[in-house]
């Protein structure tokens, strides 16, 4: 049997290695991934419609990735850090409207089947003016409302502090979105339900963090946050990290067949398959 080996947060860039990076992932044993939109340098975002061009790049990578035999769940959404630059450029009110349009376009692509989830969306991971954070929260709440209607998941990019999971759970509740459909990307090594308020977690695939997440209950997904930027090769984990690490922990007996199937198949499928 081929073990499922799933990377829950991976980016490709038209100016990077693109689909070649996924050939390497496949060769290392990778079977599936959440392919997440990143603001591509090729598309400057200053209006809602710019998001459509950006998201269609992700959708086109997803089609090529499927041709390699990979299971791909595309995630599209207005990257939260964009709010900062847009607010400077257009004023906060207009920036929020543009981000909300991006959210509407993302939801439309989930509805039409071009994407499986909304992401990565949320709040900047660094301290910002409170008015920026409040605007980001309104955009995110709008996204969760749309996700609840669609029954899709939302991949979160945000700060990580004591209040993070509580705030995400409260937003999900207010939208009527099951908390588990909210996935905290770049999460501390936790297990869903153990300190996450029911929110799902995607944990960076270092050996230490994966071991820690296993010891806490093992209900998590693993990710690289590969950014496909040849100019910053050391800035992120190699594209092969998830298959290599999970295979290693399976070989050493630290993850059973059942553990690997839960982390790399059952959880992603329960959240993303449509």
Q: Which is nearer to Zn ion, 96 or 225 (CB)?
A: 225
Site string for Zn ion, 25-64 (x = CB under 5 A): ----------------------------------------
Q: Which is nearer to Zn ion, 180 or 225 (CB)?
A: 225
Site string for Zn ion, 167-206 (x = CB under 5 A): ----------------------------------------
Q: How far is the CB of 168 from Zn ion (least distance, A)?
A: 17
Q: How far is the CB of 36 from Zn ion (least distance, A)?
A: 5
Residue 33 CA to residue 150 CA, distance in Å, equals 21
Q: Which is nearer to Zn ion, 218 or 220 (CB)?
A: 220
Rule CB under 5 A: which of 148-167 touch Zn ion? none
Q: How far is the CB of 223 from Zn ion (least distance, A)?
A: 8
Residue 259 CA to residue 257 CA, distance in Å, equals 6
User: Are the C-beta atoms of residues 51 and 65 closer than 8 Å to each other?
Assistant: no
User: Are the C-beta atoms of residues 79 and 121 closer than 8 Å to each other?
Assistant: yes
Site string for Zn ion, 84-123 (x = CB under 5 A): ----------------------------------------
How many residues are there in the chain? 274
Q: Which is nearer to Zn ion, 151 or 230 (CB)?
A: 230
Q: Which is nearer to Zn ion, 225 or 228 (CB)?
A: 225
Q: Which is nearer to Zn ion, 50 or 225 (CB)?
A: 225
Q: How far is the CB of 9 from Zn ion (least distance, A)?
A: 6
Q: Name the 3-class secondary structure at 67.
A: helix
Q: Name the 3-class secondary structure at 195.
A: coil
Site string for Zn ion, 201-240 (x = CB under 5 A): ------------------------x---------------
First to last CA, the chain: 25
Q: How far is the CB of 254 from Zn ion (least distance, A)?
A: 26
Residue 117 CA to residue 204 CA, distance in Å, equals 20
CA 198 to chain centre: 17
Rule CB under 5 A: which of 132-151 touch Zn ion? none
Q: Which is nearer to Zn ion, 8 or 249 (CB)?
A: 8
Q: How far is the CB of 10 from Zn ion (least distance, A)?
A: 8
Which residue in the shown chain puts its C-beta closest to Zn ion?
A: 225
Strand ranges of the sheet holding 71-76, from the earlier edge strand across to the other edge:
6-10, 32-36, 71-76, 117-122, 153-157, 182-184, 200-204, 221-223
Q: Give CB contacts under 8 A, 24+ apart, made by 168-176.
A: 168/197, 168/199, 169/197, 169/198, 169/199, 171/137, 171/140, 171/141, 171/144, 172/144, 172/199, 174/141, 174/144, 175/141, 175/144, 175/145, 175/147, 175/148, 176/148
Q: How far is the CB of 173 from Zn ion (least distance, A)?
A: 25
CA 199 to chain centre: 14
User: Are the C-beta atoms of residues 243 and 3 closer than 8 Å to each other?
Assistant: no
For Zn ion, the binding residues (CB under 5 A) are: 225
């Amino acid at each position: 049997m081929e073990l499922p080996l799933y990377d829950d947060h991976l980016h490709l860039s038209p100016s990077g290695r693109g689909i070649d990076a996924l050939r390497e992932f496949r060769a290392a044993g990778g079977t599936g991934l959440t392919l997440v939109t990143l603001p591509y340098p090729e598309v400057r975002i200053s209006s809602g419609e710019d998001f459509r061009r950006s998201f269609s790049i992700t959708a086109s990578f997803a089609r090529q990735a499927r041709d390699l035999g990979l299971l791909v769940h595309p995630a599209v959404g207005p990257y939260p850090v964009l709010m900062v630059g847009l607010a400077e450029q257009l004023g906060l009110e207009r920036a929020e409207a543009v981000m909300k349009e991006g959210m509407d376009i993302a939801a439309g692509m989930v509805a039409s089947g071009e994407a499986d989830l909304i992401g990565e969306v949320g709040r900047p991971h660094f301290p910002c003016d409170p008015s920026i954070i409040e605007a980001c929260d309104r955009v995110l709440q709008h996204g969760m409302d749309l996700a609840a209607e669609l029954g899709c998941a939302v991949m979160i990019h945000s700060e990580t502090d004591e209040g993070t999971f509580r705030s995400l759970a409260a937003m999900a509740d207010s939208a009527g979105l099951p908390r588990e459909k909210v996935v905290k990307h770049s999460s501390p090594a936790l297990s869903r339900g153990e300190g996450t308020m029911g929110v799902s977690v995607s944990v960076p695939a270092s050996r230490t963090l994966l071991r820690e997440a296993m010891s806490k209950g093992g209900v998590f997904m693993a990710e690289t946050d590969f950014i496909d930027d040849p100019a910053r090769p050391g800035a992120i984990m190699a594209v092969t990290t998830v298959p290599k690490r999970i295979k290693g922990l399976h070989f050493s007996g630290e993850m059973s067949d059942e553990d690997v199937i839960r982390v790399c198949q059952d959880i992603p499928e329960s959240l993303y398959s449509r």
